[in-house]
Amino acid sequence: MSDDFPAWWRRRWRPFELIDEMMREFERWFEEEFRRFERELPKDLVREVRTPTGVRREIGPIVYGYSITIGPDGRPVVREFGNVRPGRRGEPPMLKVEREPLVDVLDEEDKVRVVAEVPGVRKEDINLNVLDSRLVIRVETEQRRYYKEIDLPAEVDADNSKASYNNGVLEVTLPKKVAKRPTRQIKVD
C-alpha cells in the first residue's frame, strides 16, 4: 500500500488477506463436500481399474442434461435426462446407476414414434417392453445402463411395432390400436 494512507488504515484494511481466507474456507468446504459425495455415491458407479502403474479408481459415468422445447400449447417443456437428479433445496443431488435417456415422443395420425438417445451400446443389449400405453426402455451392459418408462399418448399394437438402432439413436414405431367404430342406430321406417 502507498505511504499516503495513515498507518492505522494500513493495519486494518487488508483485502488480500480476507480474500485468501475466503479461498481457504472455500477449498475446505469443497474437499468436505467431495468426500461426502464420494461416500454417498452408488457402489456400481465406482470401480477399480488395474494399470501398469497400479490401481486407479474410476467414478462414473455421471450425466445430467436437459432439453427445452415449446409444447403444443406454446409453453416451454423442460425434460431432464441422465443419472443425476437435483435434490430439493438444501439436499444433495440423487444419483442412480441407470441413466435416463433423452426421449422424444411423436404422436402421429396412425402411429406413435419414440426416438431415444442411447449411445455406446449394441442393438442386442436393448430391451423394449410395451404394457398397455407404456413403453419401457432398458439397457444393461458392463459399461452403460439406461432405463426409461414412457407414457404413450395412445394405446398401441405391440405385436406390429418395429424398432431400429443406428449411431446411438433408437427409434421405435408403434402403430395405434384401431378404435372400435361407434355403433349407429338405424331408424326403422
Domain limits for position 80:
46-96
Whether the full predicted model's pTM is greater than 0.75, yes or no, is no
Kindly write down the DSSP assignment for every residue of 15-49, as one continuous string.
HHHHHHHHHHHHHHHHHHHHHHHHHHS-GGGEEEE
Contact (Cβ atoms closer than 8 angstroms) between residue 77 and residue 69: yes
Residues 183 and 157 in one domain: yes
104 φ/ψ angles, rounded to the nearest 5 degrees: -115, 135
Residues 164 and 106 in one domain: yes
Tally of domains in the chain? 3
Q: Which residues pair with 99 in a beta bridge?
A: 146
Note the pLDDT of residue 181.
64
**In degrees to the nearest 10, what's the CA dihedral of 13, 17, 21, 24?**
160
**In degrees to the nearest 10, what's the CA dihedral of 113, 119, 124, 128?**
-40
Residues 163 and 111 in one domain: yes
Q: What is the mean pLDDT of each run of 10 residues along the chain (189 residues)?
A: 59 71 90 79 76 83 82 85 75 76 89 93 93 90 89 89 94 85 72
DSSP state of 12: H
Note the pLDDT of residue 2.
55
Residues 179 and 156 in one domain: yes
3-class DSSP assignment, residue 133: coil
Residues 132 and 148 in one domain: yes
Note the pLDDT of residue 35.
80
